[in-house]
């Protein structure tokens, strides 16, 4: 046995070293056992949860949701959605009305949702929304008590995950849950400018986000390579800047669809119109917006960032952002600010002249600060707030104190210092550094979700007050090598690790426990139509994904 | 400019080092330009090809294929398939009969296929099939001259790829092609035992293989984790060894469907029933087959490889392989032989006794050789030949000279030595080491197809005769982390790099040229319904993939 163990350790080390040349890990006589999925365990894990042995049977014929009202479209539609998720993605069997037990199991007649605050028509999810709920299954009527309609959605999702198949009938264990998110901002950032992502895929992704209690879709819509946003004020920008002005755009109807679909799932849509860099595609339909680049004192025909020296720039930004605030209801806009290269600003004689007038000397950080100052004025006048990437703070630009700074540098090793830096200056922050899902970490073992999972967004040196400035984080997917063919399998269930990190309590960090729930959760998503890839090794789902 | 270049190089180096923390490469003012796809260029590149400026218009109403006959189902069905691929995956417009020109472009009335050898009913593709064809488009009737029906399929694929959209009409340039494959064995190995792959996905994959002129589907069907093959002789093996005996099996009908579908595309199906290791799932439905493992002189309840000391083992293998040769028509079977661990053989007193009787002393390689000897006798008596993984040769087992040895160790650096070793012993060989597509190389830049592409299977020290022993190779996909949710996007277009390497001439190795053709080819596959992922950076396809 000792020999066997030694040999095993030796093999593990060797296979670690020559990882690429090995075929699979399990050539030892006793192969790595398949990960056993849990049965009816929720993901992300609730804050407080007790489960009891008593079970209740759910009958698709008699089961009822109660508690909505005509003004509460969010809840009414959620009842329809969760009825289908519970009874159609499982193999449900109905035994008809007025039975008190089925095969000896008492019948759960329905689910009553009580809102502590009545629904308001057209209410939008927000950074401040309350998502705290309780869920009780202990009599023949289950109950959710929710602080808001958004909280009710989280409770319904948990409820749907507790229901499970038992020898061909659907049951739920008696359960008592008190639950709330650790962080108020739990996002997925998806870029749709490097490759276009079609509407069916965007909507499926919102489904998957709801299954993971994500509440922010950070939509990095436009960029250097394409401008798919079909603007009412500037139609030429997508006519000339989209990959194709008919097939590769997001029309106002598309966007309204995404917004409505997301709202019904309690998901905020925060659009990003990144500037002043990464804006090459903007320039195609808006001549004069970008800085002409000079080489040897002459324009070389290429274009750089947005030109901060022209008044026309700010006129344009005012009109564009006025439109955007009409289209997107969220209080927050992401306005970019990453990776600004000063080269073209430095070589443009007009900008040089402008800087001299302003007394900036040769300090291009001052120019950058000037640009942001004017842009923030525009956005503030529209009663909106902004988030930016951390770069401008790094380069020393003075930002307004209400700006949210998104930390994306430093990978999974240096993010604590970066969070400490941003919060020490008093800024609220979002963490993304360790959650760049376009990078496949551990390409051999593939289980990079474990790395994502072990991050702690408050694990840095700083005061309690600083730690409270961490609003949450976002899993990011840049799409250089991603489009509708692979975006959903790249994101899911890898983003699920981030989802649990941002929702569940700090002390939920046992990978060996989580792996079983994640295995169930992955198959649950597959059963609900999301092509979530295997993430925990060999195995199978009761319902496999089917290409149609 | 010099400064700019230096800065650029510096940035490239830095981004290489801190690759994980960077967002994207293109923050330099002039972003990396999008890769422009070619228009109507074939993949893999033909051996000899001349293209001329003259163009012909293809009218969906009048276009005709000619040259098939009633006995030639392969060709008849190919005509239907390629008609649809040409006219439906493009946005074809018909202008009706009896026109000689459309918009000034002469009309191509049809395609005549001439077979040098008539079709034979039920003929199967084989290692020896001839795939040489010529393709001429220089009058108003195109022509393929093919050495066999299989060669005709390759010519039709090329023809379909030459046709392209020009301002809304379909055209083809005058072209003259003489083409043949560099290697006769061009395979994709797919494992369906670590995860189950559903039938729709398997068939889609055969489509993609045809689009890339692959001609072998090496089906690693069963393994440690599951035995999905539904055997007529041993039904208990899938009843007990499959993940689920109803939903996760390949029935005889499923297999017949795969075989027929593959044959119509000129694709051989080489099944792998790997043994004597990686057989744990076999043991579930076939008690007594596997070696019981002993610890401290007692059976410890676990099982090892197939037991080579029992006559019942060879009786079983005879019955199983007799069935397999009835089901699978190909002359070759893959019988495994990888990663045998002697631990359980070493500790089994019955096997010890057997070895003493046979005079093997303590040499377990002799036992392994004995096992293979008897298995080869079984297979030979069934008039079949085999391929094995290289392991047994490594450990010194004497193999029959007709065995094909598949090289899979050594990654993309050590494969030449391994090929030299195998061929120096006179064995025919297949290369797979650098083509393990389950390993994502270059996880940052993602373009690992370039590494696959730059392999040269004859680049090793050895005689010309040795080099001729390289029959080709296979892209391999082990499915620990792969199932129907991501198998097609993992394989395509990464396997396309292997396809061109194995088909095209040795001197076709210019990545900078290939990248443009691959960009077109990837979109061509997407347009034909394969979710082939982006592989060459930001961009778009005319027709994007749609989840339905």
Residue A9 has pLDDT above 50, yes or no: no
Convert the pLDDT of each residue in A169-180 to its tens digit: 899 999 999 999
How many Cβ pairs closer than 8 A exist between chain A and B? Answer: 235
Contacts B244 to A, Cβ<8 Å: 540, 542
Convert the pLDDT of each residue in A353-366 to its tens digit: 999 999 998 999 99
Q: Which residue is it, tokens 């030449």?
A: B416
Quick one: tokens of B341? 């661990």
Cβ pair A152, A133 in contact under 8 A: yes
Determine how β-strand A268-275 pairs with β-strand B404-407.
unpaired
Quick one: tokens of B315? 């009786």
Residue B100 has pLDDT above 90, yes or no: no
Contacts B485 to A, Cβ<8 Å: 489, 526, 531-534, 545
CA–CA gap between residue B356 and residue B350 (Å, rounded) = 10
Quick one: tokens of B73? 């189902």
Convert the pLDDT of each residue in A206-226 to its tens digit: 999 999 999 999 999 999 999
The complex's ipTM?
A: 0.91
Identify the CA nearest to B263 among candidates B372, B121, B379, B144.
B121
Strand partners, A155: none
Tell me the CA distances in angstroms from B327 to A490, B185, B231, B254, B324, one per residue in order. Answer: 37, 21, 10, 11, 5
Q: What is the mean pLDDT of residues A31-48?
A: 95
What is the overall mean pLDDT for chain A? 91
Higher pLDDT among residues B482 and A96, named by residue: B482
What's the confidence (pLDDT) of residue B27?
38
Subunit contact A26:B338, Cβ cutoff 8 A: no
Nearest CB neighbour to B478, from listed A24, A304, A341: A24
Q: Pick the catalytic residue from A80, A88, A339, A468.
A: A339
Strand partners, A112: A66, A143
Greatest alpha-carbon span in chain A: 87
CA–CA gap between residue A142 and residue A108 (Å, rounded) = 7
| Active-site residue, A274 included | no
CA quadruple A32, A37, A43, A47: dihedral, nearest 10: -90
Å from A301 to nearest chain B CA? Answer: 10
Subunit contact A194:B488, Cβ cutoff 8 A: no
Convert the pLDDT of each residue in B393-432 to its tens digit: 988 888 889 999 999 999 999 999 999 999 999 999 999 9
Convert the pLDDT of each residue in A286-334 to its tens digit: 999 999 999 999 999 999 999 999 999 999 999 999 999 999 999 999 9
Mutation target vs B (from A21, A242, A542; most B CBs, 10 A cutoff): A21
Higher pLDDT among residues B236 and A399, named by residue: B236
Searching chain A, which residue's CA lies closest to the CA of residue B413? A21
Domains present along chain A, CATH in parentheses: 48-179 (3.30.379.10)
What's the confidence (pLDDT) of residue A10?
39
Contacts A486 to B, Cβ<8 Å: 486, 489, 531, 533-534
Nearest CB neighbour to B484, from listed A24, A481, A545: A545
Subunit contact B29:A303, Cβ cutoff 8 A: yes
Å from B491 to nearest chain A CA? Answer: 11
Nearest CB neighbour to B302, from listed A29, A296, A303: A29
Cβ pair B215, B125 in contact under 8 A: yes
Å from A153 to nearest chain B CA? Answer: 26
Å from A347 to nearest chain B CA? Answer: 12
Q: Pick the catalytic residue from B80, B88, B116, B339.
A: B339
Contacts A443 to B, Cβ<8 Å: 439-441, 443
Q: Which residue is it, tokens 């809304």?
A: B168
Tell me the CA distances in angstroms from B195 to A530, B138, B476, B486, one per residue in order. Answer: 17, 49, 15, 11
Nearest CB neighbour to B544, from listed A443, A483, A534: A483
Residues in chain A: 548
Å from A433 to nearest chain B CA? Answer: 7
Subunit contact B200:A485, Cβ cutoff 8 A: no
Subunit contact B343:A195, Cβ cutoff 8 A: no
């Amino acid at each position: 046995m000792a020999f066997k163990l030694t040999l095993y350790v030796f093999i593990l080390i060797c296979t670690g070293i020559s990882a690429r040349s090995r075929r699979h890990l399990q050539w030892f006589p006793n192969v790595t056992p398949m990960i056993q999925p849990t049965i009816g365990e929720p993901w992300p894990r609730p804050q407080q949860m007790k489960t009891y042995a008593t079970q209740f049977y759910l009958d698709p014929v008699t089961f009822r949701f109660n508690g909505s009202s005509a003004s509460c479209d969010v809840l009414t539609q959620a009842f329809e959605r969760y009825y289908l998720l519970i009874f159609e993605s499982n193999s449900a069997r109905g035994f008809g009305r007025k039975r008190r037990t089925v095969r000896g199991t008492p019948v759960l007649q329905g689910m009553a949702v009580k809102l502590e605050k009545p629904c308001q028509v057209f209410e939008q999810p927000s950074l401040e929304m309350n998502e705290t709920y309780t869920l009780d299954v202990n009599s023949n009527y289950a109950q959710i008590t929710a602080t808001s309609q958004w909280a009710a959605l989280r409770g319904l999702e948990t409820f749907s995950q507790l229901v499970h198949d038992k020898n061909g009938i659907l049951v739920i264990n008696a359960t008592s849950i008190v639950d709330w998110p650790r962080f108020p901002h739990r996002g997925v950032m998806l870029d749709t400018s490097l490759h276009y992502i079609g509407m069916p895929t965007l909507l499926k992704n919102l489904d998957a986000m709801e299954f993971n209690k994500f509440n922010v879709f950070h939509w990095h819509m436009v960029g250097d390579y394409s401008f798919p946003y079909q603007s009412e004020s500037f139609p030429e920008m997508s006519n000339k800047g989209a990959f194709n002005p008919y097939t590769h755009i997001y029309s106002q109807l598309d966007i309204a669809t995404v917004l409505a679909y997301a709202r019904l799932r309690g998901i905020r849509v925060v659009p990003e119109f990144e500037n002043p860099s990464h804006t090459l595609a903007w320039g195609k339909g808006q001549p004069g917006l970008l800085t002409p680049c000079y080489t040897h004192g002459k324009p070389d025909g290429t274009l750089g960032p947005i030109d901060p020296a022209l008044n026309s720039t700010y006129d344009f930004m005012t009109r564009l952002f006025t439109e955007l605030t009409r289209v997107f209801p969220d209080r927050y806009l992401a306005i970019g600010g990453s990776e600004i290269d000063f080269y073209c600003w430095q070589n443009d004689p007009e900008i040089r002249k402008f800087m001299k007038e302003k007394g900036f000397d040769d300090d291009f950080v001052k120019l950058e600060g000037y640009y942001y100052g004017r842009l923030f004025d525009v956005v503030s006048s529209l009663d909106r707030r902004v988030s930016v990437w951390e770069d401008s703070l790094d380069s020393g630009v003075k930002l307004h104190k209400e700006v949210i700074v998104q930390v994306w540098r430093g990978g999974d090793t240096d993010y604590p210092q970066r969070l400490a830096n941003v919060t020490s200056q008093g800024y609220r922050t979002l963490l993304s550094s360790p959650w760049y899902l376009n990078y496949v970490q551990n390409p051999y073992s593939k289980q990079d979700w474990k790395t994502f999972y072990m991050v702690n967004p408050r694990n840095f040196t700083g005061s309690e007050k600083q730690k409270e400035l961490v609003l949450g984080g976002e899993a990011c997917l840049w799409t250089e090598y991603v489009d509708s063919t692979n975006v959903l399998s790249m994101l899911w269930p890898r983003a699920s690790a981030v989802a649990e990190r941002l929702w569940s309590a700090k002390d939920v960090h046992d990978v060996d426990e989580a792996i079983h729930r994640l295995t169930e959760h992955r198959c649950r998503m597959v059963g609900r139509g999301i092509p979530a890839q295997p993430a925990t090794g060999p195995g199978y789902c009761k319902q496999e994904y089917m290409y149609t």
